[in-house]
Chains A and B, each alone.
Chain A
Amino acid sequence: MASRANKMRPIRRPIMNREASEFEPCWILLRDALTDIHTKNAGRLSFEQLYRASYKIVLRKKGELLYDKVRTFEEEWFRDHIMPPISELITNTLVSVALFHPPASSMHERRQMSEKFLRGIRDSWEEHNMSMNMIADILMYLDRAYTAESKKPSIFATTIGLFRDHILRNSLGAVAQDFDQPYIVFDLLTAVTLDLINMERDGDIIDRSLLLKITSMLEDLYETDEEIDNQKLYTTIFEPKYIDNSRVFYRMECERLLRESNASTWLRHAQRRLNEEQDRCDTTLSISTADKIAKVVETELVSAKLDEFLALDGTGLKSMIDNDRIDDLTILYSLISRVDKTKHVLKNTLQTRVMELGLEIEQALKRTDFSAPVTVAGAADGDEAMEGGDKSKVQTLSAAAQQTAAAIKWVDDVLQLKDKFDTLWSTCFNQDLVLQSAVTKSFSEFINMFARSSEYVSLFIDDNLKRGIKGKTEDEVDIVLDKAIVLLRYLTDRDMFERYYQKHLARRLLHGKSEIHIEKEMVYRMKSEMGNHFTIKFEGMFKDMELSRDLTDNYRDHIRNLGDTDTRKVDLNINVLTTNNWPPEVMGRGSSQEEGAKMECIYPSAIKRLQESFFKYYLKDRSGRVLTWVSSAGTADIKCVFPKIPGKETGPLSKERRYELNVSTYGMIVLMLFNDLPVGESLGFEELQAKTNIPAPDLIRTLASLSVAPKARVLLKDPLTKNVKTTDKFSYNAQFVSKAIKIKAPTISNLSKVEGDDERKETEKKNDQTRAHVVDAAIVRIMKQRKQLTHTQLITEVITQLANRFKPEIPLIKKRIEDLLGREYLERVEGEASSYRYLA
């Protein structure tokens, strides 16, 4: 191979020209070059020649001598050529103006003087820096072979440091003799720079690039020639002073703002200052300062007087929230996020404000008089009970209608409040999760403080579903449902809501007042929100409705097949309701019902036959079941014929009139009694009740709907008052006229929209009973699993288990435990003070 052959070849000697590498000639060459570099005549110089000169010196082990010579040369040059012009710049006036701000000096004057001084420093620095770089380049070999090995500071570090030692650290000397403190030029430089920056903060235009040059000079210089990383003059001296100066500036500014200005101005000002300082660090100082100065502004301008500003009347946080000052709040949020990660102030104020406004809604509700027609009209014009009712009826029903209106108003107000805070949250608060949960908590708190919230929410849904089906797009319906669900989320007593909703839903279903698919959608949403068990009953109700429809159809087919040719054919539409799924009120087990044997009302024979026929059919497939006819629910379509009134030749009365009348089941029973009544005779109230066995309040309502409302006044009442009394007599109104063929007799239901106070207490009582059972069940379930628990543990477990349904009160749980102890489901553990054991 080649290497073997190469071994044979003699090696050529590297040759060094001894004469040419003597120290003196080389040094003279270098010295002249240094002068040329300083006087900017380097263009003629050959780098290689100079590098070679220093190389040769080092090779001859004269590195140290060269190092020292260069340093001495530079020191001398510095003293003779760089320092004098700087000294000239430092005049008495400049020193006194810069360091002591005599009142006589005008800003303009000061700026002129400062900038002149800084320009002088900059020029000589740039010159020095450039020269030193070039010199360091040609002495590169010296650095590599001598300086690094002897661990001395590099030639560049040494010579650039001259600027620090002989200019910046030079005493102001004679000029500043009068002063007590020994000032150095660096102090002057800092003072002048800071003064300029303050001028800029006050709105003056200054020479930013000049300042940038000065600060980058300070970044290039280190405390010592060792150039330790974090020992830059900028970091060790200038920056702390700048920070201190800024702190004073912003503290004063903040105090002034608090005195003279409002929160809104303050917010904008603080934000502008933050941006300004960032900008200043980018363009004038060093980016490394950005965080520190931002901190200063945050502490002095934002945090320091934050509470005071937010508490300001008229512009503080409260007024920002109330007046939806989106911009202010946005700025506030961004500032607060900077200074306080927990956003404590903002969070608390928001919570308090939500509570206050929430309670205000309740107060407003109490103050508002819903009896005024104007108020009612808005909220309750869709109410069926009011339709066609005359003035007297308005007054009769106003109590219930007022409650409905109040409920709707309450829900609307709450939703509006919620909307308001949601908007603030998403536009101003950057969808901050901390704030969201805080606000949600407050909402939940005040909603649950309001005793009727469950009922009102259900009522709101009821109203919207009932009215919503007409003329509302899917999307609009969606929004309403969403809102309802939102409110639902806040409710803690969900079992109460369940109870109300069941009631309202039952009525909607039986009366066909809403669209089934929307109902289902709503229930589906509740299910995904609250869980399966919550909607079991509702779904059961839907199922009943569907089964009933099929049943009705099948029954009709059955009848048709029988070929029954009854002339007075009655078409039956039946809803078979599972008792557990439906509210007791609907099932005729309502509270208004007298206790004791249920009063079965007396049906006309035709109806009776029909009932029996259906029952027979029903039992064919489902033996052993019992059907109870709920006469208080349900309606009937009656085809009635009003004969021509003799003597009337013109007008509607002159002809025979056929109408299809839609009345409640009770109404049908009553009307069918009049079928057999001779013309001109009348039946008294007592008589009617005896014949029908309808409970008196129901009968009153039924008669009122048939004899008072003008739309369907097929009965005449004597006397002709607006209220039905037990002494009234009723007769057939032969002169009944209606423009419509199909007439719906207004149903006047006692299942009022909003419960009266008594009813509500009743509901609550019932609810409490249910709760007691639920708590019992929970306790037993827990104990069965755990066998033995202490009292506190048991209570905690019960509360956790039931959290999804309601918040059980401790006394209730205690009571239930007592009860279960009594019933020997549990026993106390002997020896242990408060422990229970499960008894199987």
Chain B
Amino acid sequence: MAANRDEPSKYVTLISNDGFEFVLLREATVVSPTIKAMLRDGRQWREATTGRCEFPDISGAVLEKVVEYFQYWYKNRDKLDVPDMDIPVEICLELLVAADYLGLDSKPPLPSHGA
């Protein structure tokens, strides 16, 4: 479990506007081109250096759902006939905005290998 200190951690922390922090696999976030660019090696943005991404426009409830989506996407990234994830109605518009903001608006690239 001890991560190599030279390499960037396998995990990143996403922080909502009300201070909730979510730790999740870096790989699960790459579905979002926005976060991917944020953490890109060699660019040295603050997020990439610290491994912490703050989203002052996203509330904890929404970010939680986004994080859930990341995990859901990651788990199912090369599976067939994935059941849809439930979206709580009350935050659906906020999620719509967040999805647009994070670039989660098109079906992610298909894996090149067969599932």
Chain A residues at the B interface, C-beta cutoff of 8 Å? 2-3, 6-7, 9-14, 42-48, 51-52, 55, 133-134, 137-138, 140-141, 144
- With A51-B34, A140-B37 as contacts: A46 and B93 at CB distance below 8 Å: no
Knowing A47-B45, A48-B55, the reply to whether A140 touches B34 (Cβ < 8 A) is yes
A55-B101 contact given A14-B94, A47-B46, A140-B33, CB 8 Å threshold? yes
Residue numbers of B with Cβ under 8 A of A are: 33-34, 37-38, 40, 43-49, 53-57, 86, 88-94, 96-97, 101, 103
Given A11-B91, A47-B48, list of 15 further CB < 8 A pairs?
A2-B86, A7-B89, A9-B89, A14-B93, A14-B94, A43-B45, A45-B45, A46-B54, A47-B45, A47-B46, A48-B38, A48-B54, A51-B37, A134-B43, A140-B37
How many inter-chain contacts with C-beta < 8 Å in the A-B complex? 73
Tell me, rounded to whole Å, the shortest Cβ–Cβ distance linking B47 to chain A: 5
On whether the beta carbons of B44 and A43 are closer than 8 Å, the reply is: yes
B interface, by DSSP: helix, strand, loop or mixed? helix
CB-nearest residue of chain B to A1: B86
> A140 to chain B: which residues have CB within 8 Å?
33-34, 37, 103
A219 CB to nearest B CB, Å = 19
B104 to chain A, nearest CB (A): 12
Closest 3 CB pairs of A and B: A6-B89, A47-B45, A47-B38
A110 to chain B, nearest CB (A): 35
- Given A52-B56, A55-B101, A140-B34, the answer on whether A43 and B46 have CB atoms closer than 8 Å is yes
CA distance A14 to B94 in the complex (A): 5
Please tell me if the beta carbons of A46 and B46 are within 8 angstroms of each other in the complex.
yes
**What residue of chain B has the Cβ atom nearest to residue A40's Cβ?**
B44
List the A side residues contacting B93 at CB < 8 Å: 11-14
Contact of A46 with B45 in the complex, beta carbons under 8 Å: yes
With A12-B94, A47-B47 as known contacts, state yes or no: A137 contacts B89, CB within 8 Å.
no
12 pairs of residues in contact across A and B, judged by CB atoms under 8 Å: A11-B92, A14-B96, A42-B45, A47-B37, A47-B43, A47-B47, A48-B47, A52-B56, A134-B43, A137-B43, A140-B33, A140-B34
Minimal beta-carbon separation of B29 from chain A (angstroms): 13
CB distance from B26 to the nearest CB of A (A): 15
Measured between beta carbons, the chain A residues less than 8 angstroms from B88 are 6, 9
Q: How far is the CB of A125 from chain B (nearest CB, A)?
A: 16
Contact A44 B46, beta carbon cutoff 8 Å? yes
Query: What is the minimal beta-carbon distance from B43 to any residue of chain A, in angstroms?
Result: 6
Closest to B47 in A: A47
What's the minimum C-beta distance from B20 to chain A, rounded to whole angstroms? 16
Complex contacts, B53 vs chain A, CB 8 Å: 48
The answer on a CB contact under 8 Å between A11 and B34 is no
- Chain A residue nearest to B106 in the complex (CB): A144
Bound form: Cα–Cα A7–B89 in Å = 7
In the bound assembly, the distance between CA atoms of A9 and B89 in angstroms comes to 7
CA of A140 to CA of B96, assembled, Å: 18
Residue of A nearest to B96 (CB): A14
A436–B12 CA distance with the chains assembled, in angstroms? 67
Q: Bound complex: CA of A12 vs CA of B44, how far in Å? A: 36
**Cβ–Cβ contact A10 & B43, under 8 A:** no
CA distance A138 to B43 in the complex (A): 11
Residues from chain B with a CB closer than 8 A to the CB of A3 are: 89
List of A residues within 8 angstroms of B47 by Cβ: 46-48
Shortest distance in angstroms between A400's beta carbon and chain B's nearest beta carbon? 80
Cα separation A13 to B44 with both chains bound (whole Å): 35
- B44 pairs with A137, CB closer than 8 A: no
Report yes or no: B46 in contact with A14, Cβ–Cβ below 8 A.
no
A137 to B103, CA, bound (A): 13
Q: What is the minimal beta-carbon distance from B2 to any residue of chain A, in angstroms? A: 27
A111 to B43 Cα, complex, angstroms: 34
Contact (Cβ within 8 A) A137 B40: yes
A14 to chain B, nearest CB (A): 4
Most A CB contacts (10 A, CB to CB) among B38, B86, B92, B97 go to B38
Contacts of A47 in B (CB 8 A): 37-38, 43, 45-48
- Chain A residue numbers with a CB within 8 Å of B48 are 47
The complex places the Cα of A169 from the Cα of B102 at a distance, in Å, of 38
Q: A11–B91 Cα gap in the complex (Å)?
A: 6
In the complex, A55 Cα to B34 Cα: how many Å? Answer: 11
Closest to A52 in B: B57
Q: Which residue of B lies closest to A136 (CB)?
A: B37
Q: Which residue of the partner chain B has the closest CB to A7?
A: B89
| Residue numbers in B under 8 Å from A9 (CB-CB) | 88-90
Inter-chain contact B44/A42, CB cutoff 8 Å:
yes
In the complex formed, the residue of A with least CB distance to B48 is A47
Chain B residues contacting A42 (CB-CB under 8 Å) are 43-45
Shortest Cβ distance from residue B52 to the other chain A in the assembled complex, whole angstroms: 10
Residues of chain A lying within 8 A (CB to CB) of residue B97: 14
Give Cα A45 to B91, complex, Å. Answer: 30
CB pair A11–B45 under 8 Å, yes or no, is: no
A140 to B48, CA, bound (A): 17
Q: CB distance A137 to B91 under 8 Å?
A: no
Q: How far is the CA of A55 from the CA of B38 in the complex (A)?
A: 14
B69 to chain A, nearest CB (A): 17
B95 to chain A, nearest CB (A): 9
**Distance between Cα atoms of A47 and B37 in the complex (Å):** 8
A285 to nearest B CB, angstroms? Answer: 25
Expressed in whole angstroms, the Cα–Cα distance for A26 and B47 within the complex equals: 20
| Complex contacts, A52 vs chain B, CB 8 Å | 56-57, 101
Q: Which residues of the partner chain B approach A14 to less than 8 Å between Cβ atoms?
A: 93-94, 96-97
Query: How far does the alpha carbon of A14 sit from the alpha carbon of B40 in the complex, in Å?
Result: 29
Q: A133 CA to B37 CA in the complex, in Å? A: 10
Chain B residues with CB under 8 Å of A133's CB are 43
Which residue on A lies nearest to B39, using beta carbons? A47
Query: Closest CB-CB distance, A698 to chain B, in whole Å?
Result: 90
Q: Tell me which residues across on chain A come within 8 A of B45, comparing CB atoms.
A: 42-43, 45-47
For B37, the chain A residues whose CB sits under 8 A away are 47, 51, 137-138, 140
- Taking each of A3, A13, A141, which has the highest tally of chain B beta carbons within 10 Å of its own beta carbon? A141
Minimal Cβ-Cβ distance residue in A for B44: A43
CB neighbours of B40 from chain A (8 A): 137
Q: Is the CB of A51 within 8 A of B38?
A: yes
Give the docked Cα–Cα distance between A2 and B89 (Å): 10
Smallest CB gap from A138: residue in B: B37
A277 to B14, CA, bound (A): 51
Contacting residues, chain B, for A43 (C-beta < 8 A):
44-46, 49
Residue ID in chain A nearest B97 by CB atoms? A14
**Residues of the A chain whose Cβ atoms lie less than 8 Å from the Cβ of B89:** 3, 6-7, 9, 11
CB distance from A320 to the nearest CB of B (A): 51
Report the Cα distance A134→B53, complex, angstroms: 17
- CB-CB nearest in chain A for B38: A47
A43 CA to B49 CA, complexed, in Å: 8
Among residues of A, the one whose C-beta sits closest to the C-beta of B15 is A48
Q: How long is the Cα–Cα vector from A47 to B35 in the complex, in angstroms?
A: 9
What residues on A are CB-neighbors of B86 within 8 Å?
2
Contact A10-B38, Cβ < 8 Å, known A42-B43, A48-B53, A137-B43: no
